[in-house]
């Protein structure tokens, strides 16, 4: 079984609940322009967070970006989307090669996002929640002039609290629905997901962003699930009580973010749909990729200025 982030596996005997794997790289790269490479899948919501943060903070020149093929098979994330089947900067054919070079005994999953040290070719970190926070708080000397503060110290407790709720019920909740192996587990995840979406709809009716009056880490983490919701999760993961477009406030909020530089211009619906519908052969054995929904809807007026 493959999930789009490859961070989670179904834990047997616990009703299809998803859990983090403990075996991962947790280094914290020292800010140094040109030394590291951020490896992502544009399909993966957890990797997409790092792409957005990198763009918002103006770190494109300081931290290079390598993009894997959206189709992840038994060999793992690969670079077959490049002409010679290798990433032109790292020289990798498979991301797994960097994992094995970093730790020959590594037995965890090969995941994105990952940051690779170009000097050694080793994976420094694949700790996806910490990567974006470090880019915001430890890489400040390399931020563009006027870069936003995505994790302001005075709001961190509130951001952390809402991130925990959103992760449990929404970010991870869609996976708990999609990969549930019992009706009971599916319905529990389904109910928690839509209860949380209802609460977010209410919260955002009175404010433009989740925390404070500017975009923060909390908005980025919610957005990467919302932007995939109707295209993938609603049908593929059976999260079909309502579409995102049927939530007046959440749909307007999501379009507001999408139309903000750094959000919509980092979304690749082709990669997203091909990854989920082709990779998850247990859920979609035919591998047919749906044509809809119409991406033009994301460019319609949102009215939240």
Residue pLDDT, tens place only, 171-182: 999 999 999 999
Question: Please, what is the angle between helix 248-258 and helix 183-204, to 10°?
Answer: 80
Measured at the alpha carbon of residue 109, what is the angle toward residues 106 and 113, in degrees to the nearest 5? Answer: 110
> Does 19 have pLDDT greater than 70?
no
Asked whether 66 and 81 are in contact (CB, 8 A), the reply is no
Find the range with the poorest average confidence among 107-111, 174-178, 214-218, 289-293.
107-111
Q: Under a CB-based contact definition with an 8 Å cutoff, are residues 151 and 58 in contact?
A: no
Which residue would you say has higher pLDDT here, 100 or 15?
100
Q: Supply the pLDDT for residue 15.
A: 29
Secondary structure string (H, E, C) spanning 40-59: ECCCCHHHHHHHHHHHHCCC
114-149 core/surface letters (b: 16 or more CB in 10 A; e: else): bbbbeeeebbbbbbbeebbbbbbeebeebbeeeebb
pLDDT at residue 107, as a whole number: 83
What is the pLDDT of the chain when averaged over all its residues?
92
Rounded distance between C-alpha atoms, residue 43 and residue 224, angstroms = 10
Of 68 and 74, the structure prediction assigns the larger pLDDT to 68
pLDDT exceeds cutoff 70 at 38: yes
For residue 6, what pLDDT is reported? 36
pLDDT above 70: percentage of residues in the chain? 92
Collapsed DSSP state (helix, strand, coil) of residue 225: helix
pLDDT tens digits, 190-237: 999 999 999 999 999 999 999 999 999 999 999 999 999 999 999 999
Task: Give the percent of the chain with pLDDT over 90.
Answer: 89
pLDDT at 74: 81
Alpha-carbon distance of 97 to 95, in angstroms, equals: 5
Mean pLDDT of 88-114: 94
Would you say residue 18 has pLDDT above 60? no
Q: What's the CA gap between 56 and 49, in Å, rounded? A: 11
| pLDDT over threshold 60, residue 11 | no
Above 50 in pLDDT, residue 20? no
What confidence score (pLDDT) does residue 305 get? 81
CA atoms of 140 and 255, how far apart (whole Å): 28
pTM: 0.93
Cross-strand pairs, 10:
18
Task: Return the pLDDT at 1.
Answer: 30
Q: pLDDT per residue over 238-286, tens digit each?
A: 999 999 999 999 999 999 999 999 999 999 999 999 999 999 999 999 9
| pLDDT band per the 50, 70, 90 thresholds, residue 54 | very high
Active site residues: 44, 175
Residue 75, pLDDT score = 82
Do 122 and 98 touch, CB atoms closer than 8 A? Answer: yes
User: Is 5's pLDDT higher than 80?
Assistant: no
Instruction: Look at residue 10 in the predicted model and tell me its pLDDT.
Output: 33
């Amino acid at each position: 079984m493959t999930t789009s982030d490859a961070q989670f596996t179904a834990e047997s005997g616990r009703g299809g609940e998803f859990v983090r794997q403990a075996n991962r790289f947790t280094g914290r790269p020292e800010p140094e322009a040109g030394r590291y490479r951020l490896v992502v899948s544009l399909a993966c919501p957890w990797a997409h967070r790092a792409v957005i943060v990198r763009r918002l903070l103006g770190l494109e020149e300081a931290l290079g970006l390598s993009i894997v093929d959206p189709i992840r098979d038994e060999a793992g994330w690969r670079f077959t989307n490049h002409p010679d089947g290798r990433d032109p900067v790292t020289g990798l054919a498979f991301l797994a090669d960097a994992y094995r070079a970093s730790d020959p005994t590594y037995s965890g999953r090969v995941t994105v996002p990952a940051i690779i040290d170009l000097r050694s070719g080793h994976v420094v970190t694949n700790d996806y929640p910490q990567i974006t926070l470090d880019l915001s708080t430890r890489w400040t000397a390399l931020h563009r002039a006027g870069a936003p503060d995505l994790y302001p110290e005075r709001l961190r407790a509130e951001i952390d609290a809402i991130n925990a709720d959103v992760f449990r019920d929404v970010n991870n909740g869609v996976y708990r629905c999609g990969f549930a192996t019992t009706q009971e587990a599916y319905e529990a995840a389904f109910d928690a997901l839509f209860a949380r979406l209802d609460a977010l709809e209410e919260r955002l009716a009175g404010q433009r962003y989740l925390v404070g009056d500017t975009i923060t880490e909390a908005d980025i983490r919610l957005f990467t699930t919302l932007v995939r919701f109707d295209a993938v999760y609603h049908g593929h993961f059976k999260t079909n009580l309502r579409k995102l477009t049927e939530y007046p406030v959440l749909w307007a909020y999501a379009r507001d973010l999408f139309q903000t530089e750094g959000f919509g211009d980092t979304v690749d619906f082709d990669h997203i749909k091909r990854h989920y519908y082709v990779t998850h052969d247990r859920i979609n054995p035919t591998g047919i990729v749906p044509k809809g929904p119409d991406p033009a809807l994301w460019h319609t007026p949102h009215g939240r200025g």
